Structures are given as C-alpha cells and as structure tokens.
Amino acid sequence: MEKKTALYRMHEALGGKIVPFAGYLLPVQYPKGIIHEHKTVRENVGMFDVSHMGEFTLKGRDALANLNYLLTNSYDTLKDGFARYGIMCYPDGTTVDDLLVYKKHDEDYLIVVNASNCEKDYAWMKEHLFGEVEFKNISDEVSQIALQGPKAEEIVRRFTDRIPAKNYSFIEDVDIKGINVLLSRTGYTGEDGFELYCRNEDVCALWQLLLDEGVEPCGLGARDTLRLEAAMPLYGHELSDRIKPTESNLSFFIKFTKDFIGKEELEKELTRKRIGLKVIDKGIAREHCPVFCNGREVGFVTSGTFSPTLNCAVAMAIVDIDAAEENEFEIEVRNRRLKAEKVALPFYKRNK
C-alpha cells in the first residue's frame, strides 16, 4: 500500500494524474502535460511535491568522520549553511544511494536521500556508524517543495529577504507567512531554484501561497525530463547496486585523499562509462535498451526520453570504455535499431 504525501489532496484537486512512485502516490503530471510543465520550469517557474524524499539527522562529535567514511565526497571543507552532494557505496564500489548533506554546524547534519532507498539507507548507515553520533530518520515529519526555474528567486523574494545567495547554500528558520522553512538553493532540474523543507502540517499552506503567486504545479514526468536534460544521475538508472559512480562519470564527487567504503574498488581502472546519445531515427530509446556500435552490443541505456528543449529523443547510456570514444551508435528499441550519435553531456546547460 503506497503512502500519500501531505499534499495528496492538493494534487487531486489540481487534476494531477496520480501514479505509484517509490512507495508513494504522486502526480506524474497535471492537465497541461509534461512538455508544458517542462518548459514552464525552463522559462519561468514551477513547483514539485518532493515530500517523498527521505531525511535523516546525524549529530554528535563523530558526525563528520562518519560522513567522510560512509560517503565518497569529502565534507571536511563544507561550511556551515552549505549542502554538498555525495554518493554512498558498497565495499564493491557499487552504489547504495546518492544524497545531499546539509551542514548546520560541525556536529549537526541533515541528510536527504531517495525515497526508494530510504529504509535501506537508514539500515546501512546505522550498521556502519561509529563513535559518538545520534542518528534519526525524520522522513515522516518533513515535507518538501522544490521551486524551480529562472523566476524562482523573484517568487521567494515576495515572502522574505533571507535568500540563500549561493548555489548549494541554505538558511534555516526562514519565516514565510508564519511558516518555518529551511530554504535551500538546490534542485534537480538544471535551473536555478530552491527546495523548501517544512513540517507536514504546514506544507499545504505553503503550496497554496506559491499557487497564489502563480507558480504552476509540475509532476514527476517533468522532473524526470528536466533532470535528464541536465544529465543528473537518478538512482536505479545511472547509479545502482550494479553501477559504480565512476562508471557514471561522477568522479568529481569522489575524493581519493581520504578513506571511505568502496575506495579500493573505485580506484581500479574503468571498463565502461556513461555517454550521451541523441537519437536520429524516429522513436524514444528508454532504459534497458541495448546499445550497439559497429554491430557489436556495447552497453545499455540508463535513461531516455523526449527532450522538450532539444525537440528530439535523447538518452544516457553506459558503454564499454573503448566504444565510448566512437561517435555513431544504434539503439535497439522494440526490435528496431535506431541510429544515434554521441553528444556531450549535459544535453542542456542554463546560461548563468
């Protein structure tokens, strides 16, 4: 039985098409459709219910040491009031989850994980924690709205002057019409934007405030096309318990100068890597479709969709390292071979 977020009734009232996702009932789109929602976020501003995401708190004297050991990234240089992406690996180098760590201060962190992995992550971390730490799963108390798009700041400014100025910075206890919000300049769309964390009982009022300012609600469909254009990894696709972060070209987020779970395996030479493909023939290559190069099967699609910005089908694929240097590929889609050409990732990058 899927859970409902605190915003469920709002989604129904707005005509959202509800689907089960990661154990929750969430809108895949609203009546105007995915392409409209996608363009709204690229050109204007839209909002998503992302309350299904999991949140943990990690506090105590050894919190930092634990983060550095459990995650591939280093948190030594993370300043108070900033967030940093990280990946949690198994000893074999494959992926438990990817996540975001918010540093409140040296001994107080908020960790945001994928809904589909929340229980697994909690168990994994609990099993590996050491020293003096206090670790809690607060997912069921926290709701989250992602406000994304070039006009996002303008919307937030109508409510508060306390705007986190830099990307990946955040401010706690921001008062938005009496609602206590952790306001974070983060997102998963490739646009500027914010993620607003609040208590479940406040989220409907916060959503309504944003609706009243003309912000359009967007669903999971647009969230996926937006993150895919921006080439952001999604667990279960570009990362999984069969895919190492190095194979998905995420080495930037791996710091080999420290010790962490999975380090030894991640240091090994790569045998495959992630590439971007633009589909030339008519059709959409989707996840799991086999990828061919010079007639030989060289890998598989991890995510694929129709890109509303580029107006063509695009895909990310993991392919053998030698094939990754080639330019022309074929993707097998429903017993047809579609021509595809390699293009640089991300497919879309905003002008800053």
Partner 1 sequence: MEVREELKYTKTHEWVRDLGDGVYEIGITDFAQSELGDIVFINLPAADDEVTAEETLGDIESVKAVSDIYSPVSGVVCEINEEVVDAPEAINNTPYEAWLIRVKDVTDTVELLDAAQYQEVCEHE
For residue 117, which amino acid is it?
N
Element containing residue 338 per DSSP (H, E): strand 336-343
Minimum gap (Å) between residue 68 Cβ and partner 1:
40
Number of shown-chain residues binding partner 1 (CB under 8 A) = 17
282 near partner 1 (CB under 8 A): yes
- The encoded tokens of residue 264 equal 């030894």
- Cα 100 from chain centroid (whole Å): 9
Q: Which of 29, 40, 51, 246 binds partner 1 (CB under 8 A)?
A: 29
Sheet of 179-184, strands arranged across = 170-176, 179-184, 193-199, 142-148, 46-49, 216-217
Q: Which is nearer to partner 1, 111 or 315 (CB)?
A: 315
Stretch that binds partner 1, among 41-49, 91-99, 260-268, 302-310 (CB under 8 A): 302-310
114 near partner 1 (CB under 8 A): no
Q: Which of 225, 248, 303, 309 binds partner 1 (CB under 8 A)?
A: 225
Output the DSSP codes for 197-215. EEEHHHHHHHHHHHHHTTP
For the chain, give the longest Cα–Cα distance.
Answer: 62
CB 287 within 8 A of CB 301: yes
Minimum gap (Å) between residue 225 Cβ and partner 1:
6
For residue 27, the SS3 value is strand
The pattern of x and - marking residues 5 through 24 that bind partner 1 according to CB under 8 A reads ------------x-------
Q: In the range 305-324, which residues lie near partner 1 by CB under 8 A?
A: 305-306, 308, 313
73 near partner 1 (CB under 8 A): no
User: Taking CA 48 as the corner, what is the angle to CA 244 and CA 155, rounded to the nearest 5 degrees?
Assistant: 120
Tokens 């008062």 belong to residue? 175
CB 247 within 8 A of CB 273: yes
Minimum gap (Å) between residue 273 Cβ and partner 1:
27
| C-alpha–C-alpha distance, residues 347 and 247, integer Å | 18
221 near partner 1 (CB under 8 A): yes
CB 194 within 8 A of CB 156: yes
Q: Which is nearer to partner 1, 283 or 346 (CB)?
A: 283
Stretch that binds partner 1, among 49-57, 87-95, 100-108, 279-287 (CB under 8 A): 279-287
- Nearest C-alpha neighbor of 193 from the set 160, 158, 163: 163
The pattern of x and - marking residues 178 through 217 that bind partner 1 according to CB under 8 A reads ----------------------------------------
Q: Which of 257, 296, 334, 352 binds partner 1 (CB under 8 A)?
A: 334
Q: Which of 33, 91, 131, 214 binds partner 1 (CB under 8 A)?
A: 33
For residue 15, which amino acid is it?
G
163 near partner 1 (CB under 8 A): no
User: Contact residues for partner 1 (CB under 8 A)?
Assistant: 17, 28-29, 33-35, 221, 225, 282-284, 286, 305-306, 308, 313, 334
